[in-house]
Amino acid sequence: MQKTFAMIKPDAVSAGYHHNILQELELGGFAIVSKARVQLTRARAAEFYAEHKGKHFYEKLVDFMSSGPVIALVLAKEEAITGWRTLMGPTNSVVAKEQKPDSLRGKYGTDGTYNACHGADSPASAAREIKFFFPRLILDPLPDPATAKTFIID
Ligand code: IDP
């Protein structure tokens, strides 16, 4: 079983779509290992998305991600990382509505920024993001973000 990090973003939580998303992910065969409702400060949101610093959408993204509570999740399934990204659909919800209307971003997102959910894109990202939200969660083997490229989280 692979683990991944997923998040239900503030737009979906404030609209009440987290109930639908949590139901859909369990129907999709994902097990919830950890779940937490978290209010990110602007500084924590900026840190989480530091790889995008300097891009035109960064400040708006940080404002959005600190605008209300998120639901942080550790999910487990075979091929969880790619499976979760497939369930989410394309990054831009306008594109998702056209190309993957049944995806989570197609159904619950709005546009390029307000897109309902997040998912780690690699084992290294999953390790870093799980540690970011759940620092005391013990996974076996314990992933180390500095060397996570050499780990498969399972
Ligand atoms: P991902 O969430 O599908 O992995 P990333 O490229 O890592 O996509 O972008 C992180 C987040 O930044 C997106 O989910 C979205 O909320 C926002 N974002 C990405 N690209 C744009 C853009 O071109 N305009 C506005 N917001 C963007």
Catalytic residue list contains 52: no
Q: Does 112 sit in the ligand 1 pocket, CB within 6 Å?
A: yes
pTM for this one?
0.91
Q: Is the Cβ–Cβ distance between 112 and 9 less than 8 Å?
A: no
Nearest Cα residue to atom 14 of ligand 1? 91
All residues at 6 or more sequence positions from 20 whose CB lies less than 8 Å from its CB, including other chains: 107, 108
Backbone angles phi, psi at 19, to 5 degrees: -60, -45
Please state the atom number of ligand 1 nearest to the C-alpha of residue 118. Answer: 2
Q: Report CA(5)–ligand 1 centroid distance (Å).
A: 16
We find that the CATH architecture of domain 2-147 is: 2-Layer Sandwich (3.30)
pLDDT at 143: 55
Catalytic residue, candidates 18, 52, 56, 118: 118
CA-CA distance, 145 to 141, in Å (whole number)? Answer: 12
pLDDT per residue rounded down to tens, the chain (154 residues):
999 999 999 999 999 999 999 999 999 999 999 999 999 999 999 999 999 999 999 999 999 999 999 999 999 999 999 999 999 999 999 999 999 999 999 999 999 999 999 999 999 999 999 999 999 887 765 555 565 544 444 4
- Give the annotated binding-site residues for ATP: 9, 57, 85, 91, 105, 115
